[in-house]
């Protein structure tokens, strides 16, 4: 088990008592809300009751008015346009949503998804050239990419092609000279913040803005158009892209999960059946069951199959596509496991925690479609910013993941002279590099990390909402705490600590390979069941110990009970 750095949120009894009384909620729920930055009763009420009616005016987004004006001009002139998307789940759901909405509203629109291996990430020169050969238009709408594509957009402008960019990634300096750049990263500090939105959320805002303006102009079809029917796609893309589930995203995902659970979209019906999802789909089910299958085709080849699945009109058309994606996902998992094993062995053989502040490894055979997932696995093992690079001819492509406190995309900009292309977020980014530059790139990045991060931040944090007594947890309390869902990035799931526990019964090994451990713990106030999933051969808690855990409701044989998921333990201070 990882040696975590326990960070128990400080109790704030006066503020918690005031909020608990004013909102008629338990002190424990009030403490958890304070931990998430909520101290205003009005904002808390909105957070606990997310409603679509509370979404902000889409025209507050930078560049939105210009984009809407240009798209309506194209509609009026009968001008054709092409949507240039991306091959991850956010990109594919964005493309599906936008293509379907525009076509149903009267636009002449087509879509193009780049090939990961042949064309690379984003609005690449190869990608747009191939796109225009297939769809020779004068208006391109780049979705989930384009914020750093300065040279490509200039090349397109020189050829009379206007580009509208709808993207949430960090913007280059100077920004690309697009006709419109709709990106929440450009929002002013004093404007409503949309920075949490990913691209499929921006598509929702764009279509909302088009409908709003179209209704003002009395355009046909705008008044009757149902925007809510796309919320299942919005939930899929938002959860898969690991953006914070706060603000606008919390509203969209809450409504989107409801839509996803009742969706009759044939592609999603087939995907849910193949993935064997439960009757009520959660954020976790989207992240671990649906999203990986939708991602699989784009990781290994082209995301066209995922696009076709989401646009399928019948279950008979959708089912073989879903089966193929499931097969692609199994192949992806096999490739990923092999590379992870190889990279971890390679790093372990030379890793020095005192001097190695970043992990950057690259080899020709490593499949560039899975390097991002591999980077996440390696980061989990060593807890260092990690970039994994795969070979692709004369230039190699990589993907990185970071830790709290280090802006990966900003660091790549500082190393821009060593890179062919780069872009992304603070916590995840991609790059293209010549292999002879990798050693110098590693050296420079190592120095950037060394200067940026204090030593204690290299120990993975375990953020805990409170230290509690076991008798504070019961079914009614957990039901009340469920109001914090959907949880995810920016709104983490509940995690607590309980001190000075002992075992009330002997431990029990469970699972086909006895890889899990069930225990029964007590602190003198209550006895609760706890499960340590995939404990393996890790040392077991003994004597008197503190336990970090996530509480849940366990349903078994028609009976509900409180169960603790073990996160970590440590000997109690006597």
Q: What CATH number was assigned to the domain covering residues 58-228?
A: 3.90.1640.30
Domain 350-458, CATH among 3.90.1150.10, 3.10.310.30, 3.90.226.10, 2.60.40.3140: 3.10.310.30
Q: What CATH number was assigned to the domain covering residues 462-571?
A: 2.40.50.460
For 528, list phi and psi in degrees, rounded to 5: -130, 150
Q: Show contacts of 126-130: CB within 8 Å, 24+ apart.
A: 127/84, 128/84, 128/152, 128/155, 128/156
Residues counted in the chain: 574
3-state secondary structure of 555: strand
With beta carbons less than 8 A apart as the criterion, state whether 214 and 101 touch.
no
Bridging pattern class, strands 559-571 and 108-112 = unpaired
- CA–CA dist 186, 423 (Å, integer): 16
With beta carbons less than 8 A apart as the criterion, state whether 143 and 167 touch.
yes
With beta carbons less than 8 A apart as the criterion, state whether 85 and 112 touch.
yes
pLDDT tens digit sequence for 81-118: 999 999 899 999 999 999 999 999 999 999 999 987 67
Whole-prediction pTM: 0.90
Domain boundaries, the chain: 58-228, 350-458, 462-571
Nearest Cα neighbor of 92 from 329, 298, 331, 274 is: 298
> Residue 206: what pLDDT?
98
- CA–CA dist 184, 166 (Å, integer): 9
CB burial readout 202-211, b (16+ within 10 A) else e: bbbbbbbbbb
With beta carbons less than 8 A apart as the criterion, state whether 269 and 70 touch.
no
Q: 536 pLDDT band (50/70/90 cuts)?
A: confident
The beta strand positions in 369-489, using DSSP E, are 386-390, 396-401, 421-424, 428-433, 461-464, 466-467
Nearest Cα neighbor of 321 from 265, 262, 242 is: 265
pLDDT tens digit sequence for 213-239: 999 999 999 999 999 999 999 999 999
pLDDT tens digit sequence for 475-516: 999 999 999 999 998 899 999 999 999 999 999 999 999 999
Which percentage of the chain shows pLDDT scores above 90?
86
302 strand-pairing partners: 115
With beta carbons less than 8 A apart as the criterion, state whether 100 and 229 touch.
no
- Residue with more model confidence, 212 or 244: 212
């Amino acid at each position: 088990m990882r040696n975590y750095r326990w960070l128990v949120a400080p109790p704030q009894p006066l503020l918690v008592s005031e909020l608990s009384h004013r909102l008629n909620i338990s002190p424990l729920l009030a403490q958890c809300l304070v931990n998430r930055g909520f101290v205003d009763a009005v904002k808390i009420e909105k957070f606990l009751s997310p409603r679509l009616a509370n979404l902000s005016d889409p025209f507050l987004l930078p560049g939105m008015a210009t984009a809407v004006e240009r798209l309506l001009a194209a509609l009026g002139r009968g001008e054709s346009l092409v949507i240039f998307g991306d091959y991850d789940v956010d990109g594919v759901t964005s493309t599906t949503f936008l293509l379907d909405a525009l076509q149903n509203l009267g636009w002449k629109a087509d879509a193009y998804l780049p090939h990961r291996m042949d064309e690379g990430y984003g609005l690449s020169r190869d990608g747009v050239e191939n796109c225009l050969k297939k769809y020779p238009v004068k208006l391109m709408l780049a979705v989930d990419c384009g914020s750093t594509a300065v040279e490509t957009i200039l090349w397109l402008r020189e050829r009379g092609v206007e580009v509208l960019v709808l993207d949430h990634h960090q913007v280059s300096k100077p920004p690309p000279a697009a006709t419109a750049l709709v990106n929440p990263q450009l929002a002013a500090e004093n404007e409503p913040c949309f920075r949490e939105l990913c691209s499929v959320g921006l598509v929702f805002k764009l279509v909302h803005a088009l409908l709003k303006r179209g209704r003002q102009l009395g355009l046909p079809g705008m008044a009757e158009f149902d925007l809510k029917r796309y919320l299942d796609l919005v939930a899929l893309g938002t959860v898969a892209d690991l953006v914070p589930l706060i603000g606008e995203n919390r509203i969209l995902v809450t409504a989107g999960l409801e839509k996803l659970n009742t969706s009759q979209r044939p592609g999603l019906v087939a995907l849910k059946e193949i993935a064997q999802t439960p009757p009520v789909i959660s954020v976790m089910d989207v992240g671990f069951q649906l999203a990986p299958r939708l991602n699989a085709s784009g990781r290994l080849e082209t995301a066209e199959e995922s696009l076709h699945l989401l646009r399928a009109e019948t279950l008979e058309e959708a089912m073989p596509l879903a089966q193929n994606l499931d097969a692609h996902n199994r192949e992806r998992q096999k490739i990923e496991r092999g590379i992870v094993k190889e990279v971890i062995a390679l790093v372990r053989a030379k890793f020095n925690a005192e001097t190695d502040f970043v992990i950057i490894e690259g080899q020709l055979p490593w499949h560039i479609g899975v390097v991002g997932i591999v980077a996440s696995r390696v980061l989990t093992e060593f807890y260092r910013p990690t970039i994994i690079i795969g070979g692709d001819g004369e230039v190699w492509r990589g993907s990185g993941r970071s830790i709290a406190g280090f802006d990966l995309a900003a660091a790549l900009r500082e190393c821009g002279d060593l890179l062919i292309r780069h872009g992304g977020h603070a916590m995840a980014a991609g790059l293209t590099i010549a292999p002879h530059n990798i050693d110098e790139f590693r050296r420079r990045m190592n120095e950037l990390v060394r200067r940026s991060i204090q030593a204690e931040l290299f120990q993975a944090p375990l953020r805990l909402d409170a230290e509690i007594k076991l008798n504070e947890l019961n079914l009614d309390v957990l039901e009340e705490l469920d109001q914090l869902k959907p949880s995810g990035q920016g709104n983490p799931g509940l995690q607590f600590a309980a001190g000075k526990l002992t075992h009330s019964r002997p431990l029990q090994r469970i699972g086909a390979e006895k890889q899990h451990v069930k225990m029964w713990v007590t602190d003198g106030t209550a006895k609760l069941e706890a499960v340590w999933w995939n404990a393996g051969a890790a040392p077991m808690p003994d004597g008197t110990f503190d336990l970090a855990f996530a509480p849940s409701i366990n349903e078994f044989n028609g009976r509900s009970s409180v169960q603790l998921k073990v996160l970590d333990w440590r000997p109690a201070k006597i």
